[in-house]
């Protein structure tokens, strides 16, 4: 339970930091900085722990690269949804359903068994997503502006967003899908090749892809220059994300996978509260019910 709580706190804090980073620096710089921070932490751990990286076979390495690129797509769509999509609590809750996708893939591909309790959790999560992303009929909302217009000499900062915009729904769903597939691949290879080495290969491939794309970003005339505060938030997002990942892995190694997964699934509650307090977000009763159902469904899947 302790590892699950640490993982939940890490991932919840990472979502808050990612919101501030994405709205100040833009999606690309925020993801590059946070992922780069995560790789640095993993490299330092590898230096001290000496995992058998050479034992990873070539096919496994290719699979891990694929997992890393899918995970990168998940990060990019997640950060983009936070940048322009609106409510951080809603985006986090919908994206968190990647756990259900990973579970379904494990059942379909690996032949693992999902109990009726787990099936009910999947249903609850799906209903929660539908409620959270649905819009009330007969209402119109003002356009969402996630980042204030920049002034010369002053770094852009986030302006309040009130709810999940139309752009945020498909982005959050795309994040859940790519996270789920990438997480399934990473989990499968980690069980065979070791958690730390697998995470290092996957994260390293995502950062390499981002660095290869860097010249394209620098060639844009109106690329946003990140402020110092944006870089601090991005670094914090990377550190807290790695803390959550390592805590989750440690809980699995201690033989408490189900309990760790169930407890860590409550992490969307942290950005939900932060969105209400820090970003002035407002949720309708229908949306709040949707978020509650998503969290409940994820906990049930973790306990299945």
Using alpha carbons, select from 159, 122, 146, 176 the residue that is nearest to residue 304.
122
Question: What pLDDT does residue 221 have?
Answer: 53
**What is the C-alpha to C-alpha distance for residues 215 and 229, in angstroms, rounded to an integer?**
23
Q: Give the structural domain span for 165.
A: 2-136+143-148+156-303
Among residues 166, 156, 132, 217, the alpha carbon closest in space to that of 20 is found at 156
- pLDDT at residue number 268: 85
pLDDT of residue 166: 63
Domains contained in the chain, number: 1
pLDDT of amino acid 198: 85
- Residue 239 confidence (pLDDT): 93
* pLDDT mean values, one per 10 residues, the chain (304 residues): 85 91 89 92 89 82 93 92 80 85 81 81 86 58 35 38 64 90 84 82 92 77 71 92 83 62 80 83 81 86 76
For every residue of the chain, which 3-state class applies, written as one string? CHHHHHHHHHHHHHHHHHHHHHHHHCHHHHHHHHHHHHHHHHHHHHHHHCCCHHHCCHHHHHHHHHHHHHHHHHHHHHHHHHHHCCCHHHHHHHHCCHHHHHHHHHHHHHCCCCCHHHHHHHHHHHHHHHHHHCCCCCCCCCCCCCECCCECCECCCECCCCCCCCCHHHHHHHHHHHHHHHHHHHHHHHHHHCHHHHHHHHHHHHHHHHHHHHHHHHCCCCCCCCCHHHHHHHHHHHHHHHHHHHHHHHHHHCCCHHHHHHHHCCCCHHHHHHHHHHCCCCCCHHHHHHHHHHHHHHHHHHHC
* CA pair distance 302, 259, nearest whole angstrom: 7
pTM of the predicted protein model: 0.81
pLDDT of residue 174: 93
Tell me: the pLDDT tens digits for 33-58? 999 999 999 999 989 888 777 778 88
């Amino acid at each position: 339970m302790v590892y699950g709580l640490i993982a939940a706190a890490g991932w919840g804090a990472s979502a808050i930091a990612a919101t501030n980073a994405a709205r100040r620096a833009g999606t690309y710089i925020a993801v590059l900085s946070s992922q780069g921070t995560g790789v640095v932490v993993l490299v330092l751990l590898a230096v001290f722990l000496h995992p058998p990286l050479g034992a990873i076979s070539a096919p496994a390495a290719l699979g891990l690269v694929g997992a890393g690129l899918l995970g990168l797509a998940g990060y990019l769509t997640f950060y983009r949804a936070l940048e322009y999509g609106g409510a951080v609590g809603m985006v986090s809750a919908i994206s968190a359903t990647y756990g259900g996708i990973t579970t379904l893939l494990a059942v379909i591909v690996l032949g693992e068994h999902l109990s009726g309790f787990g099936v009910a959790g999947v249903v609850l999560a799906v209903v929660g997503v539908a409620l959270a992303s649905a819009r009330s009929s007969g209402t119109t909302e003002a356009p969402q502006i996630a980042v204030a217009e920049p002034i010369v000499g002053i770094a852009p900062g986030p302006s309040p967003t009130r709810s999940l915009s139309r752009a945020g729904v498909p982005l959050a769903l795309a994040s859940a899908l790519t996270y789920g597939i990438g997480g399934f691949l990473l989990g499968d290879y980690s069980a065979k090749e070791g958690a730390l080495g697998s995470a290092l290969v996957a994260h390293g491939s995502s950062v390499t892809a981002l660095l290869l794309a860097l010249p394209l970003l620098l060639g844009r005339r109106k690329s946003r220059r990140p402020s110092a505060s944006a870089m601090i938030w991005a670094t914090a997002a990377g550190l807290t994300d790695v803390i959550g990942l390592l805590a989750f892995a440690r809980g699995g190694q201690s033989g408490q996978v189900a309990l760790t997964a169930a407890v860590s699934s409550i992490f969307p509650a942290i950005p939900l509260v932060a969105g209400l307090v820090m970003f002035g977000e407002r949720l309708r009763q229908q949306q709040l019910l949707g978020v509650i159902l998503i969290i409940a469904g994820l906990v049930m899947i973790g306990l299945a």
